[in-house]
Structure 1
Amino acid sequence: MQIKDRTYIISGGASGLGRAVVEDLCKGGGYVAILDINPELAEAFVKNIGDGKTKFFETDVLESDSIAKSVEGAVLWAKETGKDIGGVIAAAGVGNPTKILDRKGNAMAMDSFDFVMNVNLRGTIDLIRQVLPHMAKTTPIGEDGERGCVIMVASSAAFDGQPGQVAYSASKGAIASLTLPMTRDLAPHGIRVVTIAPSMFETRMTAALSEKARASLLKVVEFPVRGGKPAEFASLVKHSIENVMLNGVVLRLDGGTRMPSKM
């Protein structure tokens, strides 16, 4: 799928990994509908990008109606610009570490579990399912008849989660697991599915880590011995969109990191 002159819908696009993806796709000639819950941050970002390459839609991925309104707006914008929908990148996510049993023997609250699952898993699926009918109606391009690409964000925690990551690992593990069946569902429509599973990247979520926790995490990184840069994540998203043979795959982006049970 070519990036130039196509519209991409990105949740969580005003900060972190999503923001880096927006910047990269716009540099490649793409147009990006930014779906985010933070209007102040998003509007400043849109102004900074300029050239009419981005448009912000305030979105709460916990609410189907909010997603529906934003998708409708993004599709209308794509029609106005004449740039067909070429992909959807679900980058909105939360961590919220909580052990299933704390030091005092108290069980994890289901509200905490539900929040993480609803943002990371339900929010991802809800956004994608609402974009797909529009993407499936676009004109196929290239010799393969491709219509678009779905990119989801899992995590290294899907494979080797840490203490306190029951909810987070469950949400990201589910995304990794559903990658192949979604791929098979969408193959007849000329739509590919790629999931990226990053480890520790420099985002607002990881910025909250203590120096002790950060140092412990870096001990298990093989090379390079540092946190990932958002631009490196964005680069893999760009390649996933452009390389038509990447399909039905979960790509670990982690510098060879394999988390032990204890740090």
Structure 2
Amino acid sequence: MDISTGSVVVTGAASGLGSATARRFAEAGAQVIGIDLPESIAKADAVDGVRLVGADVTSESEVTAALDLTSAPMRVAVNCAGVGWVGRVLSKDGPHDLQLYRRILDINLVGTFNVMRLAADRIRQADPVDGDGQRGVVINTASAAAFEGQVGQVAYAASKGGVHAMTISAARDLASSGIRVVTIAPGTIETPMFAGVSDDFISTLTSGIPFPQRLGKPEEFADLAAFIVAHDYLNGETIRMDAAIRMAPR
């Protein structure tokens, strides 16, 4: 699918996976709306062709207002916004904080669903781009933790497992509208959270990655997102982008 004359919305676009993805689609000629929290946007570098808009992915009104800024037909939504706060079911401080658990699911799972449903409604209003009736694509972000959550990742794993579980059902729901749904499950990616981390820590982290034995790059995620958009027969699938890692308990 060619998106050079359409619009793309990317969440979490101020940094990391979202920033690389927004840049990739802008370079392809799409009109890109990048959604992130205002405080994150304040720290972000400007990217040609990407309009950063402050919005909370869990808010219907804020996401709707961001989508209203597009002038070209909406074709693609990429959900990269997420948090990875840790906490065990039981720790020395007692049971896992219930509000923290709810907040992680609210951002990672409910936020993804919120943007998907609102963006899909815009995409279905666009004219089909081909003889198959295709109108657009929604790409969501899960994680290797959806399959092998580590110690302290119970909330994060649940949220990302939920994103994975939504994929086939959402693809079937949106098939009649000509919208594909695909999820990417990254492994260990070099994002801003690793800024200032020691070389020894990175070496320990990457030692369990089969090949290539390094951190993944946000640009590789962006390339995969662009490939999914271009490959019209990919639908209802979660693609692991993790260099064959299978996460250990710790």
TM-score range, shorter chain: over 0.9
- Partners of 2:14 and 2:44 within 8 A in 1: no
Q: Which aligned pairs between 1:131-170 and structure 2 lie closer than 5 A?
A: 131-170=119-158
**Residues in 2 aligned to 1:171 and 1:206: alpha-carbon distance in whole angstroms:** 22
Aligned twin of 1:198? 186
**Residues in 2 aligned to 1:123 and 1:208: alpha-carbon distance in whole angstroms:** 29
Q: Does structure 1 residue 220 correspond to structure 2 residue 194?
A: no
Aligned twin of 1:60? 56
Q: Which amino acid aligns with 2:228?
A: S
Aligned twin of 1:26? 26
Structure 1 residues 90 and 40 mapped into 2: Cα distance closer, same or farther (>3 Å)?
Answer: closer
- Partners of 1:34 and 1:42 within 8 A in 2: no
- Partners of 1:95 and 1:205 within 8 A in 2: no
Q: Secondary structure at the match of 2:34?
A: strand
Unaligned runs of 5+ in 2: none
Structure 1 residues 175 and 40 mapped into 2: Cα distance closer, same or farther (>3 Å)?
Answer: closer
Aligned twin of 1:87? 76
- Partners of 2:41 and 2:54 within 8 A in 1: no
**Residues in 2 aligned to 1:219 and 1:7: alpha-carbon distance in whole angstroms:** 40
Q: TM-score, normalised by structure 2?
A: 0.94
**Residues in 1 aligned to 2:122 and 2:128: alpha-carbon distance in whole angstroms:** 13
Shift of 1:95: 0.2
**Residues in 2 aligned to 1:40 and 1:96: alpha-carbon distance in whole angstroms:** 17
Choose which of 227, 237, 241 in structure 2 pairs with 1:253.
241
- Partners of 1:151 and 1:196 within 8 A in 2: yes
Q: Does structure 1 residue 100 correspond to structure 2 residue 96?
A: no
Shift of 1:207: 3.7
Aligned twin of 1:124? 112
Q: Secondary structure at the match of 1:8?
A: strand
Could you report, residue by residue, the CA deviation over 1:24-47 in whole angstroms, capped at 9, with x for unpaired residues?
1111111101111035636853xx
- Partners of 1:196 and 1:253 within 8 A in 2: yes
**Residues in 2 aligned to 1:60 and 1:208: alpha-carbon distance in whole angstroms:** 27
Q: Which amino acid aligns with 1:205?
A: M
Question: Is the helix fraction higher in 1 or 2?
Answer: 1
**Residues in 2 aligned to 1:128 and 1:84: alpha-carbon distance in whole angstroms:** 16
Could you report, residue by residue, the CA deviation over 1:33-78 in whole angstroms, capped at 9, with x for unpaired residues?
1111035636853xx333xx2222210123232222222x23xx32
Q: TM-score, normalised by structure 1?
A: 0.89
Shift of 1:239: 0.2
Consecutive aligned runs of 4 or more in structure 1 exceeding 6 Å deviation: none
Q: Secondary structure at the match of 2:233?
A: coil
Aligned twin of 1:69? 65
Superposition RMSD on alpha carbons, in Å? 1.8
Structure 1 residues 236 and 42 mapped into 2: Cα distance closer, same or farther (>3 Å)?
Answer: farther
